[in-house]
Amino acid sequence: MTADHGSLDIPSDYHSVLLELKKMDKTDLHVFLKKVLDVVANSLDIERVSIWFFNEGRTSIYCDYLYLKKFGEFANETTLSVNDYPEYFKAIESRLYIAADSAQTDPLTKELTESYLKPRGIYSMMDIPIYLNGEIIGIICHEEQDKIRNWKRDEIDFTTAISTLVSTSIEIDFSKNKEKDFHESQRFLSTLISNLPGYVYRVNKDGDQWSIQYISDGVYDLTGHKPDELIRNKVLYYAMMVNESDKAEGREIISKALANKKPYQISYRISTAEGKIKWVWEQGRGVYNENDELEATEGFVTDITEKKLYEEEILKKNNELSAIYQFGRTLSRLAEPAALLDDIGNMLVKLFARENIYLALYNEADNVITYPFYYVINGHKEIESRPFGKDFTEFIIRTKKGIILNENLVSTLKLMGIDYEENEAKSLIAIPMIAGEKVLGVITIQDYSNENSFTQSQLELLTTIGSQAAIALENSYLYSEVTKSLKEKEMLLQEVHHRVKNNLQVMSSLIKLQSRYIKDEKMLEILKETGGRIQSMSIVHTKIYNTGDYEFINFGDYTKNLIENFQSTYGYKLRNVRFDLDIGELKLNIDTAIPCGLIINELVSNAIKYAFPEGRTGMISVSVKHFKDNFYKLTVKDNGIGVQEGVDIKKSDTLGIQLVTLLSRQLNGTIDVITSPDKGTEFIITFEEAVYKARR
């Protein structure tokens, strides 16, 4: 049971102990608390005295100090969980003290019996709370081993006084540490701020007015203005320092962030006390009072000039590389010189965006300067050619070197002995277009608005472009000559095919004319066959002449024309014969098409003569299909009377079959014949497309 004692005064010996403890140096709280436990254990003649503290979440209590009187030393102890001993912890939180004479049976402490009291031989215990700022933070625990102890009132009062002394000492130490931590925090913050690559600030809002409350010393290194100078001058900080072009955007970003109670980040330019331009990056946020009203802004500003310049340099390099790539793509295509020079000039206008850009070409043979591209202030201008003289363009041609003039153009050029017509230009850049050792011309760019407009990097870029342009220009001249030569050869070749076609048609007409006077049927048939062969070759040359393709012909169209020629030649005899063509859009070169056409001419002619006697109805099929690799399969088939058994057509001595055999060999081909009486005849010729020898 919990002891219930009357109110007693603390005995004098306990008073003396308390006085001694009060006088002790409490600078080191750790040493002081250990001394308290030693003194209490000996004053009360009790075996175990310990100090326990709640953890941060108040879910358990741990022993920080345990003094064992018998051994005169300190030891470790366990941790007790609130969930395991709810009644015990409830008593700690709600009572002034716990004085359990018989701890193993007392309702407030019996939860501890099996896991804590019995293993340690504890029979009696007394716990006194320790306070910090009015809250229980732990207990001083007094435990008697091996016997039951009846706690007396003076002992309870004494330990309560000890608890008060301990609580006061902890509170004083906590305050000292808190103050120490505060000063350390201030020192650390000051060190941190002084080492930042920039400055921190706080700007207070009073109605519609803003005033700088604090700005760190780093502002001097960044801007050249001292903190007190900026604090006194409200206008200087933003109105004078921030670049005019960046003010509106900066205000908009900050206002929007403050309205949404979010941090803001902005980059802008400032003017320093020395008049230099620097790029800075600022991050800040609003400070709001208990009514959620904006009362200040706090933030940090740092110098990002080097980073910004590096980014701009990278961007410029990327743009230059992109420009070189685009120039390379444009200059790699073949074009006439006039079109190429126009492309070069227009790309330079887009890339450099200056008032005057021109290309001057040097004709060494005629000693003349021409201006194929001359751009000036949003338009193109025609400039007449002139003799080679002593002007600026000639200077670049003679020296074969690029040049930048960023100021005092007229006086500088006169000192160089150059005749220079005065104009509005304030700076210029020029480079020669050199192919090998030959200067083809000069690229000049002039700025009418600014001095110091061009950089060494731009000179290097323009030099690279000039080299590409010179090579492309030489290729263009060559392309122009080759194109002209090819056109002349094409016209000549077209004329040859035209004349061959006309000659073959004349021969065909002569044969037709002669056949009118031939009475012998056999001779008449021979003339017809000869005319058909000539006509098959004539059709090829007609196709070439009409299409302008001197290498390949559409073999499907060609075969269709052959069949139409048969219908024209044999007329009424073909009234019951139909034709089936299966060739499609196949294209064959001329060296293959002519012999292949002659083969079709012979086989179809043979079928017309022999397959359908006495006006018999039938069909002749012609197909050409790709077989494999460079091989094709030509099939000419009829459903006529066929050939008698025992007759080998391939060994026939007729001119037509001999011609088919000869032409097949010419095409590296083979002939297969399938025939039987009343089931027609099928010729299958597998041939290889001839290697075409270009005629250009």
For residue 89, give both structure tokens. Answer: 């912890």
Which residues lie closer than 8 Å to 647 by C-beta, 6 or more apart?
none
pLDDT at 692: 52
Which residues lie closer than 8 Å to 482 by C-beta, 6 or more apart?
none
Under 8 Å between Cβ of 200 and 190: no
The residue type at 521 = E
Distance between CA atoms of residues 446 and 374, nearest Å:
12
User: What stretches of 601-669 adopt beta strand conformation (E)?
Assistant: 618-628, 631-638
In a domain, 224, yes or no: yes
In a domain, 227, yes or no: yes
In a domain, 509, yes or no: no
pLDDT at 352: 86
CATH of the domain at 622: 3.30.565.10
Q: How many CB atoms lie within 10 A of CB 182?
A: 10
pLDDT at 676: 84
Under 8 Å between Cβ of 446 and 362: no
Cα–chain center distance at 499? 62
Q: Are strands 618-628 and 577-582 parallel, antiparallel or unpaired?
A: parallel
Question: Do 127 and 171 lie in a common domain?
Answer: yes
pLDDT at 2: 42
Question: Do 160 and 259 lie in a common domain?
Answer: no
Question: Do 286 and 356 lie in a common domain?
Answer: no
Helix axes 456-515, 337-352, angle to 10 degrees: 150
Could you report the average pLDDT of every consecutive run of 10 residues in the chain (696 residues)? 44 82 84 91 93 93 92 90 94 93 95 94 95 91 93 92 90 76 64 74 83 85 84 63 85 91 91 88 91 90 88 78 72 77 87 89 90 88 89 90 88 79 81 88 91 88 86 80 63 50 53 61 65 60 59 82 76 82 86 84 84 87 89 92 77 76 86 87 89 50
Question: Do 240 and 346 lie in a common domain?
Answer: no
For residue 66, give both structure tokens. Answer: 């345990």
Question: Do 361 and 264 lie in a common domain?
Answer: no
pLDDT at 489: 55
Q: How many CA atoms lie within 13 A of 216 on its CB side?
A: 21
In a domain, 187, yes or no: no
Point out the domain boundary residue: 482, 498, 532: 482
Range of the domain at 692: 549-696
User: What stretches of 183-330 adopt beta strand conformation (E)?
Assistant: 198-206, 209-215, 264-271, 277-288, 294-303
Number of structural domains in the chain: 4
Burial class (CB in 10 A: 0-12, 13-18, 19+), 52: buried
For residue 197, give both structure tokens. Answer: 């690559």
Distance between CA atoms of residues 409 and 356, nearest Å:
15
Under 8 Å between Cβ of 494 and 538: no
Point out the domain boundary residue: 453, 482, 511: 482
In a domain, 267, yes or no: yes
Question: Do 279 and 145 lie in a common domain?
Answer: no
In a domain, 533, yes or no: no
Question: Do 335 and 468 lie in a common domain?
Answer: yes
Max Cα-Cα span within the chain: 170
* Segment holding 461, helix H or strand E: helix 456-515
The reported pTM is 0.40
Question: Do 251 and 384 lie in a common domain?
Answer: no
In a domain, 673, yes or no: yes
For 684-696, the DSSP string reads EEEEEPPPP----
Under 8 Å between Cβ of 21 and 42: no
CATH of the domain at 76: 3.30.450.40
CATH of the domain at 293: 3.30.450.20
* Segment holding 123, helix H or strand E: strand 122-132
The residue type at 629 = D
Cα–chain center distance at 606? 70
SS3 471: helix
List, in sequence order, every residue forming a beta bridge with 64; answer none if it has no partner: none
Question: Do 217 and 86 lie in a common domain?
Answer: no
Point out the domain boundary residue: 451, 482, 513: 482
Question: Do 475 and 341 lie in a common domain?
Answer: yes
Query: Which residue is it, tokens 């002659």?
Result: 598
Question: Do 94 and 167 lie in a common domain?
Answer: yes
pLDDT at 311: 83
List, in sequence order, every residue forming a beta bridge with 688; answer none if it has no partner: 631
Question: Do 279 and 380 lie in a common domain?
Answer: no
In a domain, 310, yes or no: no
Distance between CA atoms of residues 298 and 263, nearest Å:
10
Q: Are strands 356-363 and 79-81 parallel, antiparallel or unpaired?
A: unpaired
Distance between CA atoms of residues 497 and 550, nearest Å:
9
